[in-house]
Amino acid sequence: MLLSWKQLVLLSFIGCLGGELLLHGPVFISEPSDSMVPVGAEDKRVTFKCEARGNPSPQYRWQLNGSDINLVVESRYELNGGDLVVINPHRDRDSGSYQCFATNPLGTIVSREAKLQFAYCLDEEAKVYGRPRVSWTACTEELWGAAG
Ligand SMILES: *[C@@H]1O[C@H](CO)[C@@H](O)[C@H](O)[C@H]1NC(C)=O
């Protein structure tokens, strides 16, 4: 059976419509991963990824150490799609475990926990006479509870 182009257009239209009408709960496309910020380089932004598909499109929220981040009140955070941007992250306020929640009327999914950690970095220089001299930056992970 040969279909006329009108039938083909109609079929693909129904196909698209069918796809859009298929409601489903959120599924992660990307989840956040651990991030490390060198102490002293805090005038930066850290982005935690979070993207989910779902129909209807999911809404996103984030938790730090199990407490909701109020993205409306806290101007230090930005929501970019589902991504969380932490502006000028600071050790005392921002270290901890971040988790993304994606919700639509069919359900809520919770991402893996991503840690934001701060590291102490030292500029080292090889104590070698003559050339070449080698310099590098060594970072030590700060262990929670170990410092201070
Ligand atoms: C989150 O929990 C970790 C580990 O207990 C702690 O070191 C950190 O300070 C907490 N972060 C905040 C913002 O309370």
Is there a domain that residue 11 lies in? Answer: no
Q: Which pLDDT score is estimated for 144? A: 47
The span from the CA of 141 to the CA of 121, in Å, is 9
User: How much helix, strand and coil, in percent to the nearest 5, is found in the chain?
Assistant: 15, 45, 40
pLDDT tens digit string along 105-140?
Answer: 999 999 999 999 988 776 666 555 666 556 666 666
Its pTM stands at 0.73
Q: Count up the domains in the chain and report the number.
A: 1
Is there a domain that residue 90 lies in? Answer: yes
Which atom of ligand 1 is closest in space to residue 94's alpha carbon?
13
Is there a domain that residue 27 lies in? Answer: yes
Residue with CA closest to ligand 1 atom 3:
96
pLDDT tens digit string along 19-58?
Answer: 567 899 999 999 999 998 887 766 688 999 999 999 999 9
Q: Which pLDDT score is estimated for 148? A: 40
Q: Which pLDDT score is estimated for 114? A: 98
CA of 121 to the centre of ligand 1 (A): 21
Mutate to test the pocket of ligand 1, among 77, 91, 95, 141 (most ligand atoms within 8 A of CB): 95
* Residue 89 preceded by cis peptide, ω within 30: no
CA of 95 to the centre of ligand 1 (A): 6
Domain residues for 80?
19-117
CA of 122 to the centre of ligand 1 (A): 24
Is there a domain that residue 58 lies in? Answer: yes
Q: What is the CATH number of the domain that holds 52?
A: 2.60.40.10
